[in-house]
């Protein structure tokens, strides 16, 4: 009702629609945006951190070619890359309570975003690992680098 009264009084005073709209946006900025940011930023940081750890594990499993684990991880990536994020959020927040698992809103968002980020980022990491040519792997071994996996290397011995 306050919006309608403000809009009508602004119209009556001869203000244009743009000026009225801008006034509404400025008035509601602190009330809506700031509290939203206090939820969005932690949600993003937590989800990205968990998703990146998950992506590294998934990418290494896919590159290591462990048959059973690779199939499980491949199915996970296929499902989470093949369904919209909104569907994943709905399944976790609304679907899990139907089987007896009630998850509050923030943790369910963290779970959905983390699983989604993990699936997408794992494919990026897997592609980056597999992009290292065999010649560079051999050169790394000759330079006394120990291969942890196909692209991540560390010095095994350091002498002057």
DSSP code per residue over 107-131: HHHHHHHHHHHHHHHHHHHHHHHHT
Q: Name the percent of the chain lying above pLDDT 70.
A: 79
Q: How far apart are CA 26 and CA 66, in angstroms?
A: 56
pTM of the prediction? 0.71
- Characterize 65-83 residue by residue with b for buried, 16 or more Cβ atoms within 10 angstroms of its Cβ, and e for exposed: eeeeeeeebeebbeebeee
What mean pLDDT is predicted for residues 136-144?
77
pLDDT tens digits, one per residue of 89-123: 999 999 999 999 999 999 999 999 999 999 999 99
Look at residue 137 in the predicted model and tell me its pLDDT.
74
Higher pLDDT, 17 or 160: 17
What mean pLDDT is predicted for residues 7-30?
71
How much is the mean pLDDT over the chain?
83
pLDDT of 8 strictly over 70: no
pLDDT tens digits, one per residue of 50-93: 999 999 999 999 988 888 999 999 999 999 999 999 999 999 99
Confidence of residue 25 (pLDDT cuts 50, 70, 90): confident
């Amino acid at each position: 009702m306050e919006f309608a009264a403000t809009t009508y009084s602004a119209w009556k005073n001869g203000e244009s629609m743009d000026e009225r709209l801008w006034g509404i946006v400025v008035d509601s900025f602190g009330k809506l945006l700031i509290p939203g940011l206090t939820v969005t930023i932690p949600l993003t940081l937590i989800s990205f951190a968990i998703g990146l750890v998950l992506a590294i594990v998934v990418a290494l499993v896919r590159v290591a070619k462990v048959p059973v684990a690779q199939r499980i991880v491949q199915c996970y990536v296929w499902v989470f890359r093949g369904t919209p994020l909104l569907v994943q959020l709905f399944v976790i927040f609304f679907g899990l309570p139907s089987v007896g698992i009630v998850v509050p809103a923030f943790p369910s968002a963290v779970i959905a975003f983390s699983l989604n980020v993990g699936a997408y980022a794992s494919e990026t990491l897997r592609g980056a690992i597999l992009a290292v040519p065999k010649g560079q792997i051999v050169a790394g071994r000759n330079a006394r680098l120990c291969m942890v996996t196909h692209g991540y290397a560390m010095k095994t011995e350091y002498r002057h």
